[in-house]
């Protein structure tokens, strides 16, 4: 590096040169106005300019991340193609340097498969069908978008909410969707027609989270009114109102068998509910700030929760993920690694691995058998929502503050076989 020149200075110079070429743009004849840039080179300059702009905050923090970030670009990215070509030619980073950044040796970076663009506001929630072929996303732009993950195209834009869409749910077969909004309603959507089939009303304030049963017959919703509501979708009626939280409910989850609900709240607790009786069977305490997200394993034995670390007077900082044994109500592990509030959590189908997305612009991949963090990979913006396919191959969906929905392919077995990027988690007690 030249004397007196910082990484920030060099990035500035690089962006200035790339931006100058990208702004010129190709002429109809395939060259830039100056006649010096063929279309292929112009496209490459534009691709590199976008890449550097989006990754500047990561490169400033650690310049050595530049090459791994290039390889993690979408499959059709020119930046990724060039980085792989350099690596194949032996001109990339040496193997020890590369593996030191990303310990799992067989697949050091999850492959970014798709970047879905179309929303004009932050993406608050993402859901996927059981086969991983269809996804939906809810946004601050008041819409729900339906995506064909095979083509990466938006197949429908579902409109009707009059305020931010805070949460979405999708049936296993991908035919029915639900969405909860700051307008206080839950909408039910028939994806075969793209029409709203029902508007569920009952919450007295914003709806913050929704969930859908495996058979698509029951929905749950949580809201700022501190309640969890259970809905019969065949009639559109509310069958139960679960009360007990002392502050707004931020996240809800429904077990596969439809018998158990979990809910997280700004009151720092996770509550477990028995739907047959409507009673609260356990209050899980341990977080020192508001709970932002909850998730439950397929077998209903394990739950995880993340804390948003909100700046509220009298509350302690909490940027952790907690693992709960729902049989005993005990916290079995505290996963500590994020440097910002945890916005979303997700569990794998077998309940052995978990993911957490944070305001610190990272997603952490955790091995719950020993509490190790297997992988930390950067995102361009704060992560608002996570969803993971229940069966391999594992596809991770991420909604961010930049209006994008991103999908990564994660090779679970290869990451599980690698060394962790951090030491064992702190073992928790209630």
Tell me the C-alpha distance between 162 and 185, whole Å.
10
Q: Per CATH, the architecture of 111-417 is what?
A: 7 Propeller (2.130)
Query: What is the spatial distance between Cα 128 and Cα 252, in angstroms, rounded to a whole number?
Result: 17
pLDDT for res 342:
95
pLDDT beyond 50 at 421 = no
CB 116 within 8 A of CB 405: yes
Position of tokens 């350099």?
Answer: 86
Q: Which pLDDT value is given to residue 37?
A: 52
pLDDT, tens only, 112-157: 777 889 999 999 999 999 888 899 999 999 999 999 988 889 999 9
Axis-axis angle for helices 7-24, 39-61 (nearest 10): 160
Q: Model pTM?
A: 0.73
Instruction: Give the confidence band of 213 by pLDDT, cuts at 50, 70, 90.
Output: very high
Cβ(279)–Cβ(330) under 8 Å?
Answer: no
pLDDT band, residue 73 (cuts 50/70/90): confident
Burial 246-268 (b: 16+ CB within 10 A, else e): eebbbbbbbbbebebbbbbbbbb
Query: What span, in angstroms and rounded, lies between the C-alpha atoms of 378 and 291?
Result: 23
Model confidence at 414, pLDDT cuts 50, 70, 90, reads very low
pLDDT digit string, tens, across residues 321-342: 999 999 999 999 999 989 899 9
Q: Which residue has the tokens 């035919």?
A: 175
Which residues of the chain are in CATH 2.130.10.10 domains?
A: 111-417
Phi and psi torsions of 419, nearest 5°: -75, 150
The answer to whether residues 363 and 356 touch, using CB atoms and an 8 Å cutoff, is yes
Q: What is the mean pLDDT of the chain?
A: 81
Least confident of 30-39, 108-117, 412-421: 412-421
pLDDT at position 255 is: 94
Residue 88 binned pLDDT confidence (cut-offs 50, 70, 90): confident
Whole-number pLDDT of residue 6:
55
pLDDT exceeds 60 at position 350: yes
pLDDT over threshold 60, residue 423? no
Instruction: Compute the Cα dihedral for 331, 333, 337, 342 and give only its sign.
Output: negative
**pLDDT for res 380:** 77
Compute the chain's Rg from CA coordinates.
Answer: 23
Buried b / exposed e along 49-58 (16+ C-beta atoms within 10 A): bebbebbbeb
On whether the CB atoms of residues 342 and 325 are closer than 8 A, the answer is no
- Spatial strand order of the sheet with 342-347 comes to 342-347, 353-358, 362-367, 372-378
Q: Is there a contact between 196 and 168 (Cβ–Cβ < 8 Å)?
A: no
What are the tokens at 31? Answer: 């060259």
Res 205: pLDDT: 97
With H, G, I as helix, E, B as strand and everything else as coil, classify residue 13: helix
Quick check: bond before 413 cis, omega within 30? Answer: no
């Amino acid at each position: 590096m030249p004397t007196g020149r910082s990484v920030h200075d060099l990035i500035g110079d690089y962006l200035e040169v790339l931006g100058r070429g990208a702004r010129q743009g190709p002429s109809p004849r395939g060259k830039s106005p100056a006649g010096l840039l063929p279309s292929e080179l112009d496209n490459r300059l534009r691709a590199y300019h976008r890449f550097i702009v989006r990754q500047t905050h990561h490169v400033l923090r650690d310049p050595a991340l530049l090459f791994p970030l290039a390889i993690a670009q979408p499959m059709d990215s020119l930046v990724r193609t060039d980085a792989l070509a350099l690596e194949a030619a032996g001109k990339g980073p040496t193997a020890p340097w590369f593996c030191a950044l990303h310990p799992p040796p067989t697949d050091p970076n999850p492959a970014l498969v798709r970047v879905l663009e179309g929303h004009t506001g932050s993406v608050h929630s993402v859901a996927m069908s059981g086969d991983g072929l269809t996804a939906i996303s809810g946004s601050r732009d008041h819409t729900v978008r339906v995506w064909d993950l095979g083509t990466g195209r938006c197949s429908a834009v579902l409109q009707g909410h009059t305020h931010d869409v805070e949460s979405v749910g999708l049936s296993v077969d991908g035919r029915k969707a639900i969405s909860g909004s700051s307008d206080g309603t839950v909408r039910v959507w028939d994806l075969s027609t793209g029409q709203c089939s029902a508007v569920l009303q009952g919450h007295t304030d914003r709806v913050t989270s929704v969930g859908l049963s495996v058979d698509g017959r029951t929905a749950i919703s949580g809201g700022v009114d501190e309640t969890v509501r259970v809905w019969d979708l065949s009639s559109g009626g509310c069958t139960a109102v679960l009360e007990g939280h002392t502050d707004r409910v931020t996240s809800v989850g429904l077990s596969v068998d439809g018998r158990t609900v979990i809910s997280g709240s700004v009151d720092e607790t996770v509550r477990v509910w028995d739907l047959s009786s409507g009673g609260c069977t356990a209050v899980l305490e341990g977080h020192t700030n508001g709970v932002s997200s909850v998730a439950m394993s397929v077998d209903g034995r394990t739950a995880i929760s993340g804390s948003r670390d909100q700046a509220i007077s009298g509350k302690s900082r909490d940027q952790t993920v907690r693992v709960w044994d729902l049989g005993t109500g005990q916290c079995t592990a505290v996963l500590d690694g994020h440097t910002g509030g945890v916005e979303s959590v997700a569990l794998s189908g077998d309940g052995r691995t978990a993911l957490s997305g944070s305001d610190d612009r990272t997603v952490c991949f955790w091995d719950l058998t020993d509490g190790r963090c297997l992988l930390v990979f950067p995102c361009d913006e704060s992560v608002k929502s996570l969803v993971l396919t229940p069966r391999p191959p594992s596809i991770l969906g991420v909604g961010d503050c930049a209006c994008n929905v991103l999908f990564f392919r994660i090779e679970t077995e290869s990451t599980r076989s690698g060394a962790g990027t951090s030491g064992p988690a702190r073992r928790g007690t209630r």
